[in-house]
């Protein structure tokens, strides 16, 4: 083989790879982050591909915060068209300058508190954050279902509980924020919430880096704190899991979309955003036991199964967004690294 | 000749594009503040932080200790692969297959085996009714097992290469002179393999330092430095300190390699 041939072979391979990726790229519409097993993005992706031939990127990252980090790093050369994330992180995204405005069809029907006036983010659905339990695991340990959040701190449930890392996942960061109000804390004092999060870890509760719904189904964790739909959908499919909405209070995570600033494929991104608020997508979301922002699309049977919690504690999204980064920092220093609770909270101005 | 030179140029270009350019980018990020001017603040901050410091030291110690242990544990397998004999082919294939389980996939494998509902604890519960192995994946011994899982096969392959090249006449001579198998191993084989052992420990150590997926999924008690870097970058978007930590890890790895080489006092270490 002559050198020319070798170089030629290299060149041909490069051209073919490039051409191949172009062809694929035309059908692919990249977003951060559409997890297959969260809000049933697997079903949403399949339905959208069937309707339009456009393939979505399922399972690129692990959470809202990781999506935001990637978008910050890529803002000069955007690699994705937008993000699906919890709205506290979306507000951070707007502040960080990684989003651009768009008002999809159906934007006007979204309540003002659940969208950005300029269209940098808008709600698509919400989900109550609840306790999921694997009944097989609990039966094996002869344990009753937990009833309250504080039950999870009892030695009976030691080592059985898990949830996602608040530093990665928007659902988990919303819970880390919300548990403070469930436990009697205030916007000026996050001591009660942080104490709970630390006690959870001290009782063997795990903060994990992967999507956790499937872990509850297999019994890797016996008890999971997660969005209700991630537990109710497997339940409907026959998994031995149940949902408990503790009467001492439940918070909801607001989920929505944003368009990435300088998105490479804005035309098709807009079509996708429009579709997500339309009847088809909204009813898939409902059928997956998440609460669609257009409430009328929620199937009656699902509405009955979802029910309404005894005490839903409303969260102040703007405030949550303003403190969530410090809260994640404080969480890491206190819970992961064993720092002094009062000192750290004071340093991040989360307690007096 | 020209073909070789062409290939060398290609390789060089590839190295520049795939390694040096990104590395320079990381270095630049670690030395540039938000306003775009030069700073060493990220290094100062990361090195002053007791948590990051203990994570770095813990990671180095953990990787060094497991690499030494894994290399010693890999000797019998490496011997069998290198000297041939029954099962050598399968053993080699098994060790090579290990390369297929990179990063996250390997972490998943560990969770599947010794997680809370891993195959091992399930079997244990069915056979003995106990739950000793439940959730071992998330403990430090579990992390050791997980690291051994990729360290031992790779170390065995590296050792096998050196063992293949051992002069069989030396071994025969030892036997003829009446050395027992233990004497033969301690007085002939191990001294002959000294260089190979050191370089295997070192290679395994460097592979372990770079390993990330396993630790991301299972490391709970010990904060592996690569995971700490990931968290700074992905969870907090602290690109400057994440980059500084990456540089610190790389420099520590190089320093450790140089120190180990000095310590071994040999220049014939393959691959380094």
Same-domain status, A233 and A338: yes
Closest CA relative to residue B68, chosen from B163, B8, B5, B152: B152
Predicted pLDDT of residue A23: 44
Q: Is the pLDDT of residue A3 over 60?
A: no
Strand residue runs (E) in chain A:
28-34, 55-58, 82-86, 99-100, 122-134, 161-164, 206-208, 223-227, 241-244, 251-260, 291-292
When pLDDT is cut at 50, 70 and 90, the band that residue A273 belongs to is very high
When pLDDT is cut at 50, 70 and 90, the band that residue A22 belongs to is very low
Chain A contact set for B217 (CB, 8 A): 209-210
What would the DSSP string read from start to end of A282-327? Answer: HHHHHHTT-EESSGGGS-HHHHHHH---S-B----HHHHHHHHHHH
Residue at B22 is within a domain: no
Q: How many CB pairs under 8 A join A and B?
A: 58
Same-domain status, A171 and A300: no
Query: If you average pLDDT over every residue of chain A, what do you get?
Result: 90
B43 min Cα distance to partner chain A (Å): 19
Q: Is the pLDDT of residue B247 over 70?
A: yes
Q: Is the pLDDT of residue A306 over 50?
A: yes
Query: What are the pLDDT digits (tens) for B196-236?
Result: 998 999 999 999 998 888 888 887 778 899 999 998 888 88
In this structure, chain B runs to a length of: 272
Q: Is the pLDDT of residue A293 over 90?
A: yes
Same-domain status, A235 and A167: yes
Residue at B125 is within a domain: yes
Predicted pLDDT of residue A26: 58
Which of B116, B235, B236 lies nearest to residue A220, judging by beta carbons? B116
Distance CA B178, CA B193 (A): 21
Chain A contact set for B135 (CB, 8 A): 159
Residue at A11 is within a domain: no
Q: Is the pLDDT of residue B70 over 60?
A: yes
Residue at A59 is within a domain: yes
Query: What are the pLDDT digits (tens) for A189-215?
Result: 999 999 999 999 999 999 998 889 999
Mutate to test the interface with B, among A1, A3, A163, A214 (most CBs of B within 10 A): A3
Residue at B172 is within a domain: yes
Residue at A149 is within a domain: yes
Residue at A9 is within a domain: no
When pLDDT is cut at 50, 70 and 90, the band that residue A347 belongs to is very high
When pLDDT is cut at 50, 70 and 90, the band that residue B104 belongs to is confident
Q: Is the pLDDT of residue B50 over 80?
A: yes
Place of tokens 């940098």: A120
Closest CA relative to residue A89, chosen from A249, A208, A258: A258
Chain B contact set for A66 (CB, 8 A): 234-235
Share of chain B above pLDDT 90, in %: 35
Predicted pLDDT of residue B265: 64
Residue at B14 is within a domain: no
Predicted pLDDT of residue B19: 85
For A11, name the nearest residue in chain B, comparing CA atoms only: B10
- Answer whether B233 touches A (CB < 8 Å): yes
Predicted pLDDT of residue A17: 47
- Answer whether A159 touches B (CB < 8 Å): yes
Same-domain status, A244 and A294: no
Q: Is the pLDDT of residue A110 over 60?
A: yes
Residue at B102 is within a domain: yes
Chain A contact set for B130 (CB, 8 A): none
Chain B contact set for A96 (CB, 8 A): 237
Residue at B1 is within a domain: no
A221 min Cα distance to partner chain B (Å): 7
- B235–A165 CB contact, under 8 Å: yes
Summarize the confidence of residues B172-189 as an average pLDDT. 85
Q: Is the pLDDT of residue A121 over 60?
A: yes
Total domains present in chain A: 2
**Other C-beta atoms within 10 Å of B196: how many?**
23
Same-domain status, A53 and A157: no
Query: What are the pLDDT digits (tens) for A41-95?
Result: 999 999 999 999 999 999 876 688 889 999 998 999 999 999 999 999 999 999 9
- A7–B6 CB contact, under 8 Å: yes
Q: Is the pLDDT of residue A19 over 50?
A: no
CA A20 remoteness from chain centre = 33
In this structure, chain A runs to a length of: 352
Chain B contact set for A69 (CB, 8 A): 233-237
A106: left (phi over 0), alpha (psi -120 to 50) or beta: left
Summarize the confidence of residues A20-49 as an average pLDDT. 82
B120 CB burial (10 A radius; 0-12, 13-18, 19+): middle
Q: Does ipTM surpass 0.90 in this model?
A: no
Summarize the confidence of residues B54-62 as an average pLDDT. 93
A182 min Cα distance to partner chain B (Å): 25
Residue at A7 is within a domain: no
CATH number of the domain that A210 lies in?
A: 3.40.190.10
Predicted pLDDT of residue B81: 92
Query: What are the pLDDT digits (tens) for A211-245?
Result: 899 999 999 999 999 999 999 999 999 999 999 99
Residue at B10 is within a domain: no
Q: Answer for the pair A169, A63: CB distance below 8 angstroms, yes or no.
A: yes
- B236–A328 CB contact, under 8 Å: yes
Full domain range(s) for residue A248 = 128-252+315-347
For A339, name the nearest residue in chain B, comparing CA atoms only: B51
- Answer whether A73 touches B (CB < 8 Å): yes
Distance CA A249, CA A251 (A): 7
For A65, name the nearest residue in chain B, comparing CA atoms only: B235
Distance CA B161, CA B151 (A): 16
Residue at A267 is within a domain: yes
A290 min Cα distance to partner chain B (Å): 25
- B111–A220 CB contact, under 8 Å: yes
Distance CA A66, CA A135 (A): 32
Mutate to test the interface with A, among B229, B237, B241 (most CBs of A within 10 A): B237
Summarize the confidence of residues A272-300 as an average pLDDT. 94
Same-domain status, A158 and A221: yes
Predicted pLDDT of residue A32: 93
Chain A contact set for B7 (CB, 8 A): 6
- Answer whether B142 touches A (CB < 8 Å): no
CATH number of the domain that B154 lies in?
A: 1.10.3720.10
Residue at B254 is within a domain: yes
Same-domain status, A330 and A185: yes
Full domain range(s) for residue B238 = 31-264
Same-domain status, A161 and A238: yes
Predicted pLDDT of residue A12: 44
Total domains present in chain B: 1
Residue at A62 is within a domain: yes
- Answer whether A66 touches B (CB < 8 Å): yes
Q: Answer for the pair B194, B187: CB distance below 8 angstroms, yes or no.
A: no
Same-domain status, A175 and A190: yes
- Answer whether A76 touches B (CB < 8 Å): no
Predicted pLDDT of residue B266: 53
Same-domain status, A230 and A293: no
Predicted pLDDT of residue A15: 44
Strand residue runs (E) in chain B:
none
Closest CA relative to residue B241, chosen from B55, B2, B7, B6: B55
Place of tokens 């002179």: B177
Residue at A14 is within a domain: no
Same-domain status, A289 and A337: no
């Amino acid at each position: 083989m002559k050198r020319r041939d070798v170089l030629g072979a290299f060149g041909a391979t490069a051209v073919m790879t490039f051409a191949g990726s172009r062809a694929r790229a035309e059908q692919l519409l990249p977003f951060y982050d559409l997890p297959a097993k969260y809000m049933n993005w697997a079903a949403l992706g399949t339905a959208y591909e069937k309707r339009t031939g456009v393939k979505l990127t399922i399972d690129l990252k692990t959470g809202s915060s990781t999506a935001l980090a990637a978008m910050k790093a890529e803002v000069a050369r955007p690699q994705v068209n937008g993000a699906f994330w919890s709205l506290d992180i979306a507000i951070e995204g707007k502040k960080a300058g990684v989003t651009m405005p768009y008002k999809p069809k159906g934007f006007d029907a979204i309540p003002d508190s659940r969208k950005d006036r300029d269209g940098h983010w808008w709600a698509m659905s919400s989900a109550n954050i609840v306790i999921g339990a694997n009944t097989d695991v609990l039966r094996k340990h002869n344990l009753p279902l937990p009833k309250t959040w504080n039950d999870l701190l009892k030695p009976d449930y030691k080592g059985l509980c898990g949830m996602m890392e608040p530093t990665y996942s928007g659902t988990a960061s919303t819970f880390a924020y919300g548990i403070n109000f469930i436990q009697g804390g205030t916007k000026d004092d996050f001591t009660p919430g942080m104490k709970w999060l630390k006690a959870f870890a001290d009782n063997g509760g795990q903060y994990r880096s992967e999507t956790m719904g499937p872990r509850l189904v297999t019994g890797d964790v016996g008890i999971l704190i997660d969005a209700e739909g991630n537990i109710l959908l497997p339940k409907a499919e026959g998994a031995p899991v149940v949902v408990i909405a503790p009467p001492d209070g439940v918070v909801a995570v607001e989920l929505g979309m944003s368009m990435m600033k300088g998105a490479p494929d804005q035309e098709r991104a807009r079509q996708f955003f429009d579709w997500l608020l339309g009847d088809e997508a909204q009813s898939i979301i409902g059928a997956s036991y998440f609460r669609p922002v257009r409430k009328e699309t929620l199937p009656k049977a699902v509405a009955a199964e979802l029910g309404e919690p005894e005490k839903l504690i409303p969260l102040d999204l703007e405030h949550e967004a303003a403190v969530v980064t410090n809260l994640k920092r404080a969480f890491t220093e206190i819970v992961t690294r064993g720092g002094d609770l009062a000192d750290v909270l004071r340093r991040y101005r989360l307690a007096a | 000749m020209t073909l070789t030179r062409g290939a060398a140029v290609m390789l060089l270009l590839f190295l520049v594009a795939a390694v040096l350019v990104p590395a320079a980018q990381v270095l630049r990020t670690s030395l540039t503040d938000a306003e775009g001017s030069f700073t060493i603040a990220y290094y100062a901050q990361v090195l002053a932080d007791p948590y990051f410091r203990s994570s770095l030291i813990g990671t180095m110690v953990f990787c060094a200790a497991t690499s030494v242990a894994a290399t010693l544990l890999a000797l019998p397998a490496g011997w069998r692969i290198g000297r041939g004999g029954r099962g050598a082919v399968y053993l080699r294939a098994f060790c090579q297959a290990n390369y297929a389980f990179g990063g996250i996939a390997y972490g998943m494998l560990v969770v599947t085996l010794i997680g809370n509902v891993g195959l091992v604890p399930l079997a244990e519960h069915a056979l003995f009714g106990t739950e000793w192995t439940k959730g071992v994946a998330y403990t430090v011994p579990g992390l050791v097992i997980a690291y051994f899982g990729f360290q031992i096969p790779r170390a065995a392959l590296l050792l096998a290469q050196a063992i293949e090249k051992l002069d069989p006449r030396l071994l025969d001579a030892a036997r003829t002179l009446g050395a027992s198998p233990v004497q033969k191993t301690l007085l002939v084989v191990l001294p002959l393999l000294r260089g190979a052992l050191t370089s295997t420990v070192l290679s395994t150590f460097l592979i372990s330092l770079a390993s990330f997926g396993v630790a991301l999924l299972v490391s709970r008690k010990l904060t592996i430095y690569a995971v700490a870097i990931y968290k700074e970058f992905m969870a907090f978007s602290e690109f400057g300190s994440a980059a500084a930590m990456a540089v610190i890890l790389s420099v520590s790895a190089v320093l450790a390699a140089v120190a180990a080489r000095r310590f071994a006092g040999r220049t014939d270490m393959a691959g380094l």
